Structure 1
Amino acid sequence: MARFPHGDSFTLADPPDGPRRASGMTSAELALRTVKLVGQRGSITVAELSRELGVAPSTAHRVLNNCRRTEFVRQDVSGGPYVIGPAIHELALTVTSARDLRQSAEPVLEQLRSSVDEMVSFYVLEGKSVRVVQALPGGRTTTVASGLGALLPAHCTAGGKAILAHESQRELRHRFPGKRLTRHTDRSITDWDALLNELDVVRRRGWAVSVGEYDPSLTSLASAVLIGSGAPAGAVVLTGFATWLRTRSEIDAHVAQVMQAANDISVRLRDNRS
């Protein structure tokens, strides 16, 4: 979250064209107006912000740097425009309330569960973990605890990897300080480069799998649910016993259904917010 010194303010002269005057605005007000402009436009340059706020280019540059340090904007190329940062994505997910998620996901999860007869769940990201916010046991997985409300390690669960695949390397390093990955079974990913390679594969193909990486008796398959900005709101997860859900052909048999469910929830989320 952005922090600004108490009482810090700028007293600025009117810009030459005079339509927008920033006289007396505090640093926080300048930053909030900047974030709003980037959110509306998708990107902004120092010169454009200077004109919009009626401030000197040096002040506009300083405001953008403050927003960049707090991750409300990012700059992919030195000297290039500033675009929406991860903090704005997180705010968008906050607006996409838990109630919206449940309403959008529940009928889709019910349909998927009926189709595959395995446990299906919905995960959301919390720090370096994922939270199980919905869980429907299947006929073949009635002995598997639903885990509703459980907090699971993101790096070695299919749902976690499906969501993490949509984060930048910078965001991932921030989420996992020191690049430390806890081992839960002998199949857990504990090497940082191996995790990045895995997430790259997940991002390209659109789904993730975990065979005994957190619980040696279980296999999970997941696909991320994306909101309009491209940020992940969560992931649809199918879980089954590894005794009958382990081989590539057994896993492949469910991939299309899980990906379709994730896409259907994404569409319902957008429709509910329109």
Structure 2
Amino acid sequence: MSNNGSGADSAAGTQSGASSVDNALRLLELIGERQALRVSEAAVELGVAPSTAHRLLNALRRRGFVLQEKPNSAYRPGPVLNEIGLAAIGRVDIRQVARPVLEGVRDRTQETVSLSLLEGRNVRFIDCVESPRAVRVGNRTGVVLPAHCTAAGKAILAAMPETELVRRFAGGELATRTEFSVSDWQRLEAELVEIRRAGYAVNIEEGERGISAVAAVLRDRAATPLASVAVVVPVNRLPSRAEAGELARALLAARDELQETLRGQIAD
């Protein structure tokens, strides 16, 4: 009898441990998608008591996966999550490899150029070189915006399989940043089709007022999207999609160069 009881206890403990791991991973997904998560929201999403959600979030905080700016505030992505995102594209530091190419595009276009990664439904700018012009878009490193509101994010989304898009945007709800943001799922799908056809994405004041951008995706040898490169400009220098062609040509040439370099280094 005692042996059976011990086995049952062990099985129950294993199930409990697996459940805790699943819940912790789900919390990381939610924080990656929303960029901020409160204990009460976590409890509702997981279907657990607030005390359980608080315990899990604190464990993630201690390990650096999430951070909390002050007691009782929302939890946000921590430094470890960002490093994991960078490691996921290979053992090469993409920022180091990309920097000369970003500088080359900056010199050719005289505009700010950025490098971005996708995090859930958002895009994070991980490196940036500023335009030398007096009126320019400033350094955006560390900025996080909804992916569908940026050229950088849309370029990556357009390169993803349909099944992955549906998973990430379950429900089809799209947050908006400005009155120009895409808020309708069908409209976004149509734009992604056009991005695939053209080879680049355009944003006219969709993520931030006064800022436009052109972006192209970087892929690995299996055609999986790794990141995106974008030229980011004041809207008066790119007031509509019709003016994006010249910037796109400079960007695509540099993207192809960077893509080949990355593929070679990741394969080594």
TMscore range, shorter length: 0.5 to 0.7
For residue 267 of structure 1, give the secondary structure of its aligned residue in structure 2.
helix
Residue 215 (structure 2) aligned to one of 203, 211, 222: 222
Alpha-carbon contact 1:236-1:261 (below 8 Å) kept? no
Taking structure 1 as the reference length, the TM-score comes to: 0.64
For residue 254 of structure 2, give the secondary structure of its aligned residue in structure 1.
helix
Residue 138 (structure 1) aligned to one of 131, 137, 142: 131
Alpha-carbon contact 2:202-2:241 (below 8 Å) kept? no
Q: How do 1:1-274 and structure 2 match up within 5 A?
A: 94-97=88-91, 99-140=92-133, 143-273=136-266, 274=268
Structure 1 unmatched runs, 5+ = 8-89
Q: CA deviation at 1:100?
A: 2.7
1:153-192 CA-to-partner distances (Å, cap 9, x unmatched) read 1001000000000112221121113111011111111111
Q: CA deviation at 1:92?
A: 11
After the TM superposition, which segments of 4 or more aligned residues of structure 1 sit over 6 Å from their partners? 90-93
Alpha-carbon contact 2:204-2:240 (below 8 Å) kept? no
For residue 213 of structure 1, give the secondary structure of its aligned residue in structure 2.
coil
Aligned CA distance change for structure 1 residues 141 and 200 (closer, same or farther; 3 Å) = farther
**Number of the residue aligned with 2:3:** none
**Number of the residue aligned with 2:44:** none
Q: CA deviation at 1:237?
A: 0.4
Alpha-carbon contact 1:93-1:233 (below 8 Å) kept? no
For residue 171 of structure 2, give the secondary structure of its aligned residue in structure 1.
helix
Distance 2:239 2:249 in 1: 17
Distance 2:197 2:86 in 1: 24
Q: CA deviation at 1:141?
A: 6.2
Aligned CA distance change for structure 1 residues 91 and 249 (closer, same or farther; 3 Å) = closer
Distance 2:147 2:206 in 1: 11
Aligned CA distance change for structure 1 residues 6 and 234 (closer, same or farther; 3 Å) = farther
Q: CA deviation at 1:209?
A: 0.1
Over aligned residues, Cα RMSD in angstroms?
Answer: 2.4
Q: CA deviation at 1:145?
A: 2.9
Q: CA deviation at 1:95?
A: 4.7
Once the two structures are overlaid, the 10-residue window that deviates more, 243-252 or 218-227, is 243-252
Distance 2:200 2:89 in 1: 25
Q: For residue 177 of structure 2, what is the amino acid of its counterpart?
A: H
Of structures 1 and 2, the larger Rg is shown by 1
Distance 2:240 2:86 in 1: 38
Distance 1:232 1:6 in 2: 39
Q: Which has the higher helix share?
A: 2
Identity of aligned residues (%): 33
For residue 167 of structure 1, give the secondary structure of its aligned residue in structure 2.
coil
Aligned CA distance change for structure 1 residues 237 and 6 (closer, same or farther; 3 Å) = farther
Distance 1:92 1:149 in 2: 13
Alpha-carbon contact 1:124-1:132 (below 8 Å) kept? yes
Alpha-carbon contact 1:185-1:214 (below 8 Å) kept? yes
**Number of the residue aligned with 2:60:** none
Structure 2 unmatched runs, 5+ = 1-11, 15-83
Aligned CA distance change for structure 1 residues 6 and 111 (closer, same or farther; 3 Å) = farther
